[in-house]
Amino acid sequence: MHFQLASLNLSEAAPDLDADGALAPETLFAKGDSALAKVLHRGPFHSSSTVQNAAYASFLETPIGIAVLVLARRLISSRPSIAKNWSLCKKYLENTVKIACSAEREIDEDGCEVLYGRAGLLYGLLYLKKALNDFSSSSIFSSLQEDFISEYYDSLKGLVSDGTLQQVVESIIIRGKHGSRIYSQEFRNHRTPPLPPLMWIWHGKRYLGGAHGVAGILQVLLSCPNVVIEPHLVEIIPTIEWLVGLQDLAGNWPTKAPSNYREGHQVNELVQWCHGAPGMLILLTTLLRRAPGDVPQELRDKIISSLRCGAAVVYEQGLLRKGVGICHGVAGSVFALLAVSDALDADSEERPYLTFALHLAHLATFYESFTAQGHMRTPDHPWSLYEGVAGMCCAWGEVLRRMGSETLRSLECSGQPGYDDLFT
Ligand SMILES: [Zn+2]
């Protein structure tokens, strides 16, 4: 069963994409709604259903993503399948938020990562908040009946209020501090560089990258409104500084937190969003964009040099053999280079990092022949957003938009979908 957005296969819902006008936004939205309807038909949304554990409540890999999309689409779509499931999806999300915010007797540092856990739920709430904000500032808002606004807009505002976001954030931060204390105990008899004030685990391992690790969790935390996240910058910024210090000489990062700083230089082989430089680069650019006044000049300089070094390794190794998807494929490399372009290209007319991204995006157009020749593998979900061609389509669209495409200029696509697309 496919409830996960990350592996949702849209091709079965869109067999006639070669028709004229197939790429028009209204056609694509209709196809998307139709795919949602099919998933809803098989989905877990009934009156008594609920998420059992907030550690499995993410936007990308659990039914929460479907619920969030239904709530957001209902604001502008009256398609029967969406209207019919709206209340159940709202209840499902409300129950999940309640579980995520409820006090627990024993805190552990697990279950907070983006792909499955609490940071993924937080992303879903932020996505919905953005949809509500966009809706309230749209031209149709003032012409709508009060009943509609009250039922479908006002009733969702509490679910994504700063107070609710604050509770989910607190739950993640408390676990991060707990994880940091345990991590520090492992070094109590050693002289080490300063250890991070926040640390989490996933399946017992201290991952660092975008999908399961520290970088992905911090990325979503930094995407929260200022009033929510400012009290926690005192822990977040030193944790990011610690991550910068782990970059190796080639420009990449380890998959996991070091267990012994005396191990010396190691080779970090994975250069992909889920593990390695791409996820780190997106986080570093987000910090510069979201909290510029809170980053001391010395750290800012370190981050810029880290971005240059990391972007070089992503460009050199970013034509990945695992396919063109976002998670461990070329699209993830392209989104990382576009993020670096946003941060550093303003200083140069040549826009070198956009050029790097464009080159990889162009090479990815040959993915079928690379695959046929055995240079590239076919992923498990070849059409999906995070493993397959759908993610690469988003990356191609993003590159074209930055090149000035008239067709795409009006679209609000900016950044990696499901991760780094909450702010323009
Ligand atoms: Zn991956």
Higher pLDDT, 162 or 2: 162
Question: For the chain, what percentages of helix, strand and coil (3-state, to nearest 5) are there?
Answer: 60, 0, 40
- On whether 393 is known to bind a ligand per the annotation, the reply is no
| Backbone torsion region of residue 203, taken as left when φ is above 0, otherwise alpha when ψ lies between -120 and 50, otherwise beta | left
Measured CA to CA, the distance from residue 282 to residue 334 in angstroms comes to: 11
- Read off the pLDDT band of 105 (50, 70, 90): confident
Q: How far is the CA of 93 from the centre of ligand 1 (A)?
A: 26
Q: How many CB atoms lie within 10 A of CB 47?
A: 8
> How far does the centroid of ligand 1 lie from the alpha carbon of residue 33, in Å?
27
Query: 275 alpha carbon to ligand 1 midpoint, in Å?
Result: 7
Among 3, 106, 1, 105, residue whose Cα is nearest residue 51: 3
Is 20 a residue whose pLDDT tops 60? no
Residues 153-178 have a mean pLDDT of 95
- The predicted pLDDT at position 411 comes to 59
Does the pLDDT value for residue 7 go beyond 60?
no
Cα(10) to centroid(ligand 1), Å: 20
pLDDT category at 349 given cuts 50, 70, 90 is confident
- Check residue 210 and give its pLDDT: 98
328 is in an annotated binding site: yes
To the question of whether residue 41 is assigned a binding role by annotation, the answer is no
**Å from CA of 372 to ligand 1 middle:** 22
| pLDDT at position 124 | 98
pLDDT for residue 193 = 80
| 113, 137 contact by CB (below 8 A) | no
Q: What is the dihedral angle through the alpha carbons of 316, 250, 394, 201, rounded to the nearest 10 degrees?
A: 150
- Residue 349: phi, psi to the nearest 5? -65, -25
Residue 5 has pLDDT above 50, yes or no: yes
pLDDT of residue 39: 85
- Residue for token pair 């012409």: 143
What is the 313 CA–ligand 1 centroid distance (Å)? 17
Q: How close is the Cα of 147 to the center of ligand 1, in Å? A: 44
**408 pLDDT tier (thresholds 50, 70, 90):** low
pLDDT band at 101 (very low <50, low <70, confident <90, very high): confident
The radius of gyration of the chain's CA atoms, rounded to the nearest angstrom, is 21
Question: Is 51 within 8 Å of 92 (Cβ atoms)?
Answer: yes
Question: What is the Å distance from ligand 1's center to 89 Cα?
Answer: 28
Highest-confidence segment of 46-55, 75-84, 311-320: 311-320
